[in-house]
Chains A and B, each alone.
Chain A
Amino acid sequence: MVGDSEERREREEELGRGGDVRLVVPAAPEYLRLVRLTAAGLASRLGFTFDEVEDLRIAVDELCFHLLGDVDDPDPSGEPRTMDLVYSAGADFIAISGRTSRTGDVAEPSELSEQILDALVDEHEVSGSNGTVTFRLRKQRES
Chain B
Amino acid sequence: MAFEATDRHELRSKLEQYAETGDKALRDEIVASQVGLAEYLARRFKNRGEPIEDLIQVALLGLLKAVERFDPSRGLEFSTFATPTIVGELKRHFRDKGWAVRVPRRVQELHLRMGTVVNSLSQELGRSPTIPEIAQRAEVSVDEVLEAMEAGRAYRFSSIDAPAGEDEDRAASPAATQLGEDDTGLEEVEQRMLLSPLIASLPKREQMIIHLRFFRGMTQSEIAARLGISQMHVSRLLARSLAQLRDRAGAEAAPS
What is the interface of chain A, defined by CB distance below 8 A to chain B? 29-30, 33, 36-37, 40-41, 43-44, 47-54, 57-58, 61-62, 65, 107, 110, 112-113, 115-116, 119, 143
Contact = CB atoms under 8 A, between A and B. Distances in A.
Given A107-B253, A112-B196, A119 B217 contact: yes
A41 B146 CA distance: 7
A140 B100 CA distance: 31
Given A44-B142, A51-B219, A115-B215, A65 B246 contact: yes
Interface in B45-85: none
Band of interface residues on B? 35 or more
Contacts of A47: 130, 132
Nearest to B219: A51
Contacts of B220: 51, 54
B239 A58 contact: yes
A77 B235 CA distance: 39
A36 B150 CA distance: 8
A113 B210 CA distance: 12
Nearest to A108: B253
Interface in B112-171: 118, 122, 127-132, 134, 142-143, 145-147, 149-150, 153-154, 156
B249 A52 contact: no
Given A37-B150, A65-B246, A51 B214 contact: no
B149 A57 contact: yes
What's the dominant secondary structure at chain B's contact region?
A: helix
Interface SS, A side: helix
8 contacts: A33-B101, A37-B146, A37-B147, A49-B127, A54-B235, A61-B242, A107-B250, A115-B214
A61 B239 contact: yes
Given A50-B128, A58-B239, A110-B249, A40 B214 contact: no
A5 B249 CA distance: 50
B199 interface: yes
The 8 nearest A-B residue pairs measured at CB: A44-B131, A51-B128, A49-B128, A119-B214, A51-B219, A50-B128, A40-B146, A116-B214
Given A50-B130, A54-B149, 16 more contacts: A33-B101, A41-B146, A44-B130, A48-B131, A50-B129, A50-B131, A50-B221, A52-B128, A54-B220, A58-B242, A112-B198, A112-B199, A112-B245, A115-B214, A119-B213, A119-B214
A22 B246 CA distance: 26
A44 B239 CA distance: 20
